[in-house]
Amino acid sequence: MTKHHNKDIVEDIDEKPAETPSNNHLSKDETITAVLEVNGYGRESRRGSRRFSRRFSEPDFANDIERVRYISELTEEGEKKFNRLTWKQLVIILIVCAVALGTLSMPLVFAMLGMIGGTILTVGMGCLAVLTSYYIGQVKLKFPQVIHYSDVGRLLLPGRAGEILTKILQFIFVFFVMLGVAAHFLTGKQAFTTIVGDKSICQLVWSVITLVLLFICSLPPSFSEMAILGYIDFASIMTAVLVTLIATGISAHKVNWETGWSAYPPEGLSFSYGMIAASNVLFAYAFSICQFSFMEEMAEPSDFPKAIVVLGGAMI
């Protein structure tokens, strides 16, 4: 069947015979050569390559193919470095995020809501946090292009609306990270002040020391290397928790165990104080906000459910 339009003949593609694709596939070296030719690599390119080699201490190459192969292997090796995070290391990183965020504030939750209310809220929000983390992991597996939490905006809304939502989520994500760093910064300053006990030293000195320590701890470029610090962080936090428990037990023994703890909330508890307790629990379980970034460096992202189950059991 043919169609006539402005004296031009347009063939119906449905009636044309199917064409068999050519089997002349290029090898890896032939592909590299073709790419070099298309991009104009030649004598000038080799001179530029030698200048590039001298400038960046690359080895001398006999031709452009060797140089491209060297850069390709170097890039592949670099990518492997940022895909070494195991699910066990992911557990440590997520636990450190959760423990560092709100463990020491949990006694206040039980003091305000009572042992029953605090237990229900802690277990309930813990299960909800684990379920949320599981769904986040499923999104990452289905949409690998999501690297940070803010990238979800383009999945939720199409077009311009998705871009606007992404910008908003980027601001929220950065703001949350800044608050987390500020919390660690304030905790470090107060810790140095309490340990030293010298009120004559300016608080700014401890602030600068804390700033330097936080900067040094943030230098590892990959999360797999950061996991080593996670073990140290987890051990130090648990040591602080055990010391607090022992000190609390000694203090309670001195007052004949009249600690004021109750199974029910204290009388006259206002709504605002109840919400403060609930927000402390919520903040303690806010580890999943960085899960997209963590899973981006996992060697086997499909192993994340193992980390979530272990994390949930340990946290709850």
pLDDT digits (tens, 9 = 90+) for 203-262: 788 888 888 888 888 887 778 777 788 788 888 888 888 888 888 888 877 777 777 778
The answer to the question of residue 154 being in a domain is: yes
Q: Are residues 111 and 30 in the same domain?
A: no
What confidence score (pLDDT) does residue 11 get? 46
What is the rounded average pLDDT for all residues in the chain?
A: 76
Q: Are 114 and 263 contacting, i.e. CB atoms less than 8 angstroms apart?
A: yes
The answer to the question of residue 19 being in a domain is: no
Q: Which residue has the tokens 């050519």?
A: 22
Most confident of 116-120, 176-180, 258-262, 297-301: 116-120
Residue type, 156: L
The answer to the question of residue 244 being in a domain is: yes
What confidence score (pLDDT) does residue 2 get? 45
Mean pLDDT for 144-169 is: 88
The answer to the question of residue 6 being in a domain is: no
The answer to the question of residue 121 being in a domain is: yes
Give the CA-trace dihedral at 219, 132, 137, 288, to 10 degrees.
0
275's tokens:
């919400």
Cα→Cα distances 255→47, 48, 213, Å: 84, 81, 40
92's tokens:
């440590």
Q: Are residues 140 and 245 in the same domain?
A: yes
Structural domain total, the chain = 2
Question: Of 36, 58, 81, which marks where a domain is finished?
Answer: 81
Q: Are residues 67 and 108 in the same domain?
A: no
Predicted confidence band of residue 196 (pLDDT cuts 50, 70, 90): confident
The Cα 88–Cα 231 span in angstroms is 11
What confidence score (pLDDT) does residue 61 get? 57
The Cα 86–Cα 297 span in angstroms is 9
Residue type, 86: T
Cα→Cα distances 230→99, 193, 224, Å: 11, 24, 10
Least confident of 52-61, 92-101, 152-161, 195-204: 52-61
What confidence score (pLDDT) does residue 62 get? 58
Q: Are residues 174 and 303 in the same domain?
A: yes
Answer whether residue 16 shows pLDDT above 60. Answer: no
What confidence score (pLDDT) does residue 168 get? 92
Answer whether residue 53 shows pLDDT above 60. Answer: no
Q: Are residues 187 and 277 in the same domain?
A: yes
Mean pLDDT for 301-313 is: 85
Most confident of 13-27, 61-75, 127-141, 273-287: 127-141
Question: Of 62, 81, 100, which marks where a domain is finished?
Answer: 81
What confidence score (pLDDT) does residue 56 get? 45
What confidence score (pLDDT) does residue 138 get? 92
The answer to the question of residue 273 being in a domain is: yes
Q: Are residues 59 and 115 in the same domain?
A: no
pTM of the model: 0.67
Q: Are residues 214 and 146 in the same domain?
A: yes
Predicted confidence band of residue 120 (pLDDT cuts 50, 70, 90): very high
Q: Which domain holds residue 61?
A: 25-81
Q: Are residues 158 and 305 in the same domain?
A: yes
Q: Are residues 126 and 209 in the same domain?
A: yes
Mean pLDDT for 14-37 is: 53
What confidence score (pLDDT) does residue 207 get? 85
The answer to the question of residue 4 being in a domain is: no
Q: Are residues 72 and 196 in the same domain?
A: no
The answer to the question of residue 3 being in a domain is: no
Q: Are residues 186 and 200 in the same domain?
A: yes
The Cα 305–Cα 137 span in angstroms is 8
Residue type, 82: F
Mean pLDDT for 151-178 is: 88
Answer whether residue 300 shows pLDDT above 70. Answer: yes
* 48 against 190, higher pLDDT: 190
Q: Are residues 94 and 68 in the same domain?
A: no
- Residue ranges of alpha helices (H) inside the chain are 28-38, 43-56, 64-81, 87-102, 106-142, 153-156, 159-196, 203-217, 223-254, 271-284, 291-296, 304-315
% of residues, the chain, pLDDT over 70: 74
